[in-house]
Copies of this chain bind each other. A is one copy, B any other.
Amino acid sequence: MAIQEADLVRMSLDEVHAMAVKGLMQHGASSEQARTVADTITSAERDGCKSHGLFRLPGYIGSLKSGKITGDAVPVLSELAPAVVKVDAANGFASLPLEIGTNALAEKAREQGIAALAITNSYHFAALWPEAERLAEQGLVAFAFVTAKSYVAPAGGIKPLYGTNPMAFAWPREGKPPIVFDQASSASARGEIMIHERDGKPIPNDWAIDSEGNPTNDPTAALAGAQLPFGGYKGGSIALMVELLAGAMIGDVFSFEATANDVRDGGPPKRGEFMIAIDPSRCVAGGGAISQLAHAETLFAEILSQEGTRLPSDRRYLARESTPEEGITIPQSLYDECAALSG
């Protein structure tokens, strides 16, 4: 039973999961669709990634209510080549296709050494680290790429074209959770600009330009203008790469097309995702990934020997140490909203 603390509500991870399943199923999601989306939401809450936790449940449900997303979609797995698998999400959420797809991808990667997965016609409303981490937990090196709504100007340009286009990379470790980074190719998340607007704070230089293309520290002008890639044209190249991989290459849409197609119901636009998995034991003569993983630990030790450094994902894993036992908290208002949707 959820416990109230001032204007926060404390919940166990099981309660988070149950609330998400209930809300999704009451609005037409099949049990498999609801379970896998709830897994995604719960893992975000577990790792302290609040912006991908229950905060998103009203959006998921809004997209069921609007009829945009097919709640009982049955994803279709197919083999396109000996080392390429595809899951057509059939207009459903991305979580179930990703569960099916990463299982098939892992098998292919072990068999072929490297393999790829295309997810099409899906609604991805979460971070990329869950699917990358899932593969690395099985000893594989993983990449994930996904497009988004078009908010980011191409290098040198002033109008939104690219999505914030995150890419994730994961590296397996022996006896420890994987190294995973999952980063937007925009200088900041869109949500960070929205939080600055809410709090009346200026945004840093280089995050965005206004609608005339001028640099701006005004979050409102930034939201009406365009976000910028991280690190100038180099981040722009990464954003372009993500568009090509998760868009044209797998026969899905670009961010600007996903945005044009979207019905603006609070949920994500329909789009594709592309993943690569590599079995490191198949990348050296004689096989056996252990020495490669042990070798990688020497690099991680070098990084951590410098004061002020940390490894990607460390903050998530720190949160994960306590939340399974202590649970998580969400604002009372969000709890009430989710409870009403699950009621």
Q: Is A157 interfacial (CB 8 A cutoff)?
A: yes
Stretch of A34-42, A214-222, A279-287, A328-336 with 4 or more beta carbons under 8 angstroms from chain B: A279-287
User: Would B157 and A285 count as touching, CB distance under 8 A?
Assistant: no
Partner among B113, B158, B238, B295 whose Cβ is within 8 Å of the Cβ of A248:
B295
Q: Within the complex, what minimum Cβ distance (angstroms) separates A184 from chain B?
A: 8
Task: Provide the bound-state CA to CA distance between A4 and B248, in Å.
Answer: 49
Size bracket of the A interface: 35 or more
Contacts of A342 in B (CB 8 A): none
A232: which of B111, B159, B231 is its contact (CB, 8 Å)? Answer: B231
Can you tell how many copies of this chain the complex includes?
A: 2
Residue with the greatest number of chain B CB neighbours at <10 A, chosen from A235, A280, A282, A302: A302
Using Cβ atoms and an 8 Å threshold, which residues of chain B touch A80?
113, 282-285
Could you say which of A112, A179, A282 has the most chain B C-beta atoms within 10 Å of its C-beta? A112
Knowing A114-B276, A116-B278, the reply to whether A299 touches B234 (Cβ < 8 A) is no
Closest chain B residue to A159, Cβ basis = B306
Cβ of A112 and Cβ of B141 under 8 Å apart? Answer: no
Nearest CB of B to A76, in Å: 10
A78 within 8 A of B: yes
B82 touching A112 by the CB < 8 A rule?
yes
A241 touches B169 (CB 8 A): yes
Stretch of A11-19, A60-68, A249-257 that contacts chain B = A249-257
Point out the residue from B141, B153, B250 that lies within 8 Å of A249, measured CB to CB.
Answer: B141
Q: Does A230 contact B (CB under 8 A)?
A: yes
Is A306 within 8 A of B113, CB to CB? no
Q: Are B308 and A156 in contact (CB under 8 A)?
A: yes
- Interface hits, A261-320 → B, CB 8 Å: 276, 278-280, 282-285, 291-293, 295-296, 298-299, 302-303, 306-310, 312
Contact B244 A141 (CB under 8 A): yes
Q: A125 in the interface, Cβ–Cβ < 8 Å?
A: no
Q: Are A249 and B156 in contact (CB under 8 A)?
A: no
A230-B231, A284-B80 are known contacts. Are A248 and B154 too (CB-CB below 8 A)?
no
A251 in complex: contacting residue of B78, B237, B292, CB < 8 Å: B292
Task: List, in ascending order, chain B residues with CB within 8 A of A291's CB.
Answer: 251
Interface positions of A from 169 to 190, Cβ below 8 Å from B: 169, 171, 179, 181, 183, 187
| CB under 8 Å from chain B, chain A span 154-210 | 154-159, 161, 169, 171, 179, 181, 183, 187
- Chain B: CB-nearest residue to A282: B81
Chain B residues with CB under 8 Å of A179's CB are 240, 244
Q: Return 13 A-B CB contacts under 8 Å, by A number.
A: A80-B282, A81-B279, A83-B83, A84-B113, A86-B283, A154-B303, A156-B306, A179-B244, A183-B234, A230-B232, A240-B312, A248-B299, A249-B278
Besides the contacts A84-B283, A154-B303, what 15 more A-B pairs have beta carbons closer than 8 Å? A83-B83, A113-B116, A114-B116, A114-B276, A118-B283, A118-B284, A154-B306, A155-B309, A179-B240, A230-B230, A237-B312, A240-B303, A249-B280, A254-B302, A256-B302
